[in-house]
Amino acid sequence: MPKNEAVVYITRKIPDPGIEILESVADVYVNDCGPQNPPSKTEIIEDVTELEADGLLCMLPDEIDRDVLTASPDLEVVSTLSVGFDHIDLEAANDYGIAVGHTPGVLSETCADLVWALVLATARRIVEGYRFVTDGEWKTWAPEAIVGQDVYGSTLGIIGLGKIGTAVAKRGAGFDIDVCYTARSRKPEREAELEELGVEVTHVSLDELLRRSDLVSVNVPLTDETEGLLGRREFQQMDDDALLVNTSRGEVIQTDALYEALAADEISRVCLDVTDPEPLPPTHRLLEFAPDRLIVTPHIGSSSVPTRNKMAEMAAENIVARFRDEQLPNAVVSPPNPGV
């Protein structure tokens, strides 16, 4: 492929606003693999090498390791269409002077909407109710058909009071909930924001949170510290009627332990937008509990049209900034610009 200006490789089709921004400064190559057939690491390496790409726009399922980062001698910036960057080897990027950007902030409210959608769907047994209708079982109003759990007035435990966790807690004002949270340190400003909305909020240990909460929402990024954070011991602390929702990363929960806790009735209901493994195979044993005690969605936390458009723009703007020798607007790794 001829190279006459900066080249950007995108590992699959992203919303048009992002592509338009990139096309104003570079030749843009989009892998046409289709939405459900992501390129392998080998294919990404081959494409980046062949194109001698200057910029790489990647997504969560792409493993961006040292081999990918060294595939093109010209690679100067990697930007991911996600807030999470656990799929990128940041140390290697730093070693090679490659800037890394992501898309924080914009998706917090959209993810928080999904948390509540899952909580309500699970607590009020919406999927089962739908099946009840379509399976022809609905013959009459019945006092004990599809009875669920109340959400209003609950105690919500938020593991990780970052931007998404705070947006989840704020929505609790309308449900008259109390919030407890864990975080490495207390977050007085976030507590004040919530208290202004009438949400009572307390900083507690993880064990205390698990013991107190009717609803537990996992909102931590995946790090060495949070990987496998919730296992059998933690599930045993939870109330038998508690509901757990994970929209962060599948690896924060030990999947086998979750299966065992559900099997032993140590935890009542679970909703997962992220899984380990991800994608969750349709034959996975965890799905034995679906849909009455488990709902799984395919990692759609940020999946609204405006948010995905904005994420595409932000990911593109990171790349453009690097080409202009400017700081990335949303940087994770900021080596000095090559021209500086």
Q: Which amino acid is at 298?
A: P
Q: Which position among 296, 301, 313, 332 is part of the footprint of ligand DGY (CB under 6 A)?
A: 301
Residue nearer to ligand DGY on the CB measure, 107 or 151: 107
Q: Are 185 and 127 in contact (CB under 8 A)?
A: no
- Per the listing, tokens 């607590």 go with 123
Place of tokens 């948390």: 115
The residue from 17, 61, 84, 291 that contacts ligand DGY (CB under 6 A) is 84
Residue of 200, 232, 278, 284 with catalytic role: 278
Q: Which stretch binds ligand DGY (CB under 6 A): 21-29, 82-90, 250-258, 264-272?
A: 82-90
Active-site residue (options: 12, 171, 249, 322): 249
Cα torsion angle, 116, 273, 301, 210, sign: positive
Which range, of 8-16, 81-89, 123-131, 174-182, touches ligand DGY by CB under 6 A? Answer: 81-89
Nearer to ligand DGY, 153 or 306 (CB): 306
Residue 165 binding ligand DGY, by CB under 6 A: no
* CA distances to 61, 159, 167 from 197, in Å: 37, 20, 12
Binding window for ligand DGY (CB under 6 A); candidates: 76-84, 150-158, 160-168, 278-286:
76-84
Q: Which is nearer to ligand DGY, 82 or 255 (CB)?
A: 82
Q: Which stretch binds ligand DGY (CB under 6 A): 47-55, 80-88, 129-137, 188-196?
A: 80-88
List binders of ligand DGY among 245-284 (CB under 6 A).
none
Two structure tokens written together for 107:
């998706």
Look up 278 and say whether it is catalytic: yes
> CA of 43: how far to CAs of 50, 102, 130, in Å?
10, 22, 41
258 within 8 A of 285, measured Cβ to Cβ? no
Residues whose CB is less than 8 angstroms from the CB of residue 30 and which lie 6 or more positions away in sequence, other chains included: 10, 12, 13, 14, 19
Residues 97-116 that bind ligand DGY (CB under 6 A): 107
Residue that is written with structure tokens 């994770």 in the block: 332
Which candidate in 12, 299, 308, 322 is catalytic?
299
Report in angstroms how near the CB of residue 60 gets to ligand DGY at its nearest: 6
DSSP bridge pairs for 28 = 8
Q: For the chain, count helices (H), then strands (E).
A: 12, 13
Min. distance of Cβ 97 from ligand DGY in angstroms? 25
Establish whether the linkage from the previous residue to 73 is cis, with ω within 30° of 0.
Answer: no
21, amino acid identity: I
The strands making up 27-30's β-sheet, listed across from edge to edge, are 27-30, 7-10, 55-58, 77-80, 99-101, 331-333
> Does residue 203 have an active-site annotation?
no
Q: Which stretch binds ligand DGY (CB under 6 A): 1-9, 78-86, 254-262, 328-336?
A: 78-86
Shortest Å distance, C-beta 190 to ligand DGY: 20
Tell me if 82 contacts ligand DGY by CB under 6 A: yes
Among 7, 21, 56, 83, binds ligand DGY (CB under 6 A): 83
| Residue 299 among the catalytic residues | yes
Amino acid at residue number 232 = R
Residues 6+ apart with CB under 8 A from 180: 155, 156, 157, 158, 201, 202, 203, 204, 208, 209, 212, 213
Which run of H or E residues covers position 311? helix 305-323
Q: Which is nearer to ligand DGY, 163 or 293 (CB)?
A: 163
- Considering only residues 254, 302, 330, 337, which one is a binding residue for ligand DGY as defined by CB under 6 A? 302
Residue 36 is classified by DSSP as T
Rule CB under 6 A: which residues touch ligand DGY?
A: 82-84, 107, 301-302
Q: Residues with catalytic annotation?
A: 249, 278, 299
